[in-house]
């Protein structure tokens, strides 16, 4: 009897935080919907296309980062320099033709990020520290090789990446296609399931005989390929590339992954969540721009969104574990 009567009392505190979080989240979502619906020109086809286009470049890079994060390697802080270096390679290789330049870019991107992944996977290096060092090294090498100058395309094939089949930017189709492929890989393949296990508990995964080093390196290789795709589209869009091409992409991609609800600790999350995160941030920026707020306010709101989602995910996780 005592045990039976104690159950409801012990269950109550577990549910309350979850309920509060859900309530706050619901209110936030409702407020965002009201804000969107009352924003002039938000509900137009052209604006929807603009949001998806804005989300596409960050989204593709964020898909790569999702692989890294789910695998328990936290984040890469070398996304922007990697994208810049690969973008420069892509444009300078245009004389070889678009396909050859794309292949070269993906190979280079895979190699640059894959090497970092190998060190993280096999030598258990701290990914944050390693990628800070890598970002300096990549920028240094790119600056040395290019002499610091801007790379212009050596032929015009790159412009096909700026195409708009059906009136929608090609990068949007690529984002959606890649999100589905990454999601399928994570959910339906042995590699994907292993990655979740490694991210959840690396020591247990190793004890279970999983090739932790190899899986981690493969995740980073995949991320590198996705960063390279972002680089090609970004360089094609900007028509030129230099070491600053990546801009704030590192933090934008991290924001998209976290806003999608993938925890930084790894072991959970999905590509589709990241896609939603990228679109959410692009939509928020769009609403603010349509309402006439400055770029500074847009950046601040991006930070608030990430903070709210991270806190929400943390509270819900704690609630479910309690």
Q: Which residues bind another protein (CB under 8 A)?
A: 41, 44, 46-47, 49-51, 53-54, 57, 139, 143, 147-150, 152-153, 162, 164, 167, 169, 234, 236-240, 242-249, 285-286, 289-290, 294-296
Q: Cβ 172 to another protein, closest distance in Å?
A: 10
Complex with another protein: residue 83 or 118, whichever CB lies closer: 83
Q: Cβ 228 to another protein, closest distance in Å?
A: 16
Complex with another protein: residue 47 or 312, whichever CB lies closer: 47
Which of 257, 259, 224, 227 lies closest to 245 in space, CA to CA? 227
SS3 label, residue 72: coil
Q: What is the dihedral of CA 65, 67, 68, 71, to 10 degrees?
A: 150
Q: Whole-angstrom Cα distance, residue 64 to residue 221?
A: 9
Q: Cβ 6 to another protein, closest distance in Å?
A: 45
Complex with another protein: residue 8 or 296, whichever CB lies closer: 296
Complex with another protein: residue 15 or 291, whichever CB lies closer: 291
Q: What are phi and psi of 149, to 5 degrees?
A: -85, 165
Q: Cβ 130 to another protein, closest distance in Å?
A: 21
CB atoms inside a 10 Å sphere around CB 6? 10
Complex with another protein: residue 87 or 192, whichever CB lies closer: 87
Q: Whole-angstrom Cα distance, residue 289 to residue 280?
A: 14
Taking CB atoms within 8 Å and a gap of at least 24, the contacts of 184-193 are 185/222, 186/67, 186/70, 186/270, 186/271, 187/270, 191/215, 191/218
SS3 label, residue 111: helix
Complex with another protein: residue 70 or 249, whichever CB lies closer: 249
Q: Cβ 53 to another protein, closest distance in Å?
A: 5
Q: Cβ 50 to another protein, closest distance in Å?
A: 3
Q: Cβ 136 to another protein, closest distance in Å?
A: 10
Q: Cβ 153 to another protein, closest distance in Å?
A: 8
Contact 238, 249 (CB under 8 A): no
Complex with another protein: residue 14 or 133, whichever CB lies closer: 133
Complex with another protein: residue 10 or 240, whichever CB lies closer: 240
Complex with another protein: residue 139 or 216, whichever CB lies closer: 139
Kindly write down the DSSP assignment for every residue of 274-320, as one continuous string.
HHHHHHHHHHHHHHHHHTT--HHHHHHHHHHHHHHHHHHHHHHHHHH
SS3 label, residue 1: coil
Q: Cβ 299 to another protein, closest distance in Å?
A: 9
Q: What are phi and psi of 263, to 5 degrees?
A: -70, 145
Give the list of residues 6+ apart from residue 73 with CB closer than 8 angstroms, or none.
117, 120, 127, 216, 219, 220, 266
| Six-digit token string for 107 | 């190979």
Alpha helical stretches, state H, 43-78: 45-70
């Amino acid at each position: 009897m005592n045990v039976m009567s104690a159950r409801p009392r012990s269950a109550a505190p577990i549910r309350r935080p979850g309920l509060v979080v859900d309530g706050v989240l619901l209110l936030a979502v409702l407020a965002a919907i009201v804000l969107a619906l009352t924003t002039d020109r938000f509900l137009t086809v052209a604006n929807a296309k603009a949001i998806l286009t804005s989300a596409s470049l960050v989204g593709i890079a964020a898909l790569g980062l999702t692989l890294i994060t789910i695998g328990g390697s936290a984040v890469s802080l070398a996304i922007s320099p990697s994208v810049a270096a690969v973008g420069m390679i892509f444009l300078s290789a245009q004389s070889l033709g678009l396909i050859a330049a794309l292949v070269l870019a993906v190979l280079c991107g895979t190699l640059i990020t894959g090497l970092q992944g190998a060190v993280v996977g096999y030598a258990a290096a701290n990914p944050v520290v390693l990628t800070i060092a890598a970002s300096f090294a990549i920028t240094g090498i790119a600056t040395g090789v290019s002499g610091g100058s801007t790379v212009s395309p050596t032929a015009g094939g790159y412009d096909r990446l700026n195409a708009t089949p059906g009136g929608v930017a090609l990068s949007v189709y690529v984002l959606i296609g890649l999100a589905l492929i990454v999601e399928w890989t994570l959910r339906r393949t042995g590699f994907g399931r292993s990655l979740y296990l490694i991210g959840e508990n690396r020591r247990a995964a190793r004890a279970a005989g999983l090739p932790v080093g190899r899986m981690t390196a493969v995740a980073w290789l995949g991320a590198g390929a996705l960063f390279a795709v972002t680089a090609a589209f970004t360089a094609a869009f900007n028509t030129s590339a230099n070491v600053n091409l990546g801009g704030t992409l590192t933090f934008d991609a991290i924001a998209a992954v976290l806003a999608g609800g993938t925890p930084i600790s790894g072991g959970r999350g999905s590509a589709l969540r990241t896609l939603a995160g990228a679109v959410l941030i692009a939509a928020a920026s769009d609403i603010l721009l349509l309402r006439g707020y400055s770029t500074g306010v847009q950046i601040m709101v991006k930070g608030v969104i990430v903070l709210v989602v991270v806190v929400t995910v943390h509270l819900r996780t704690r609630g479910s574990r309690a």
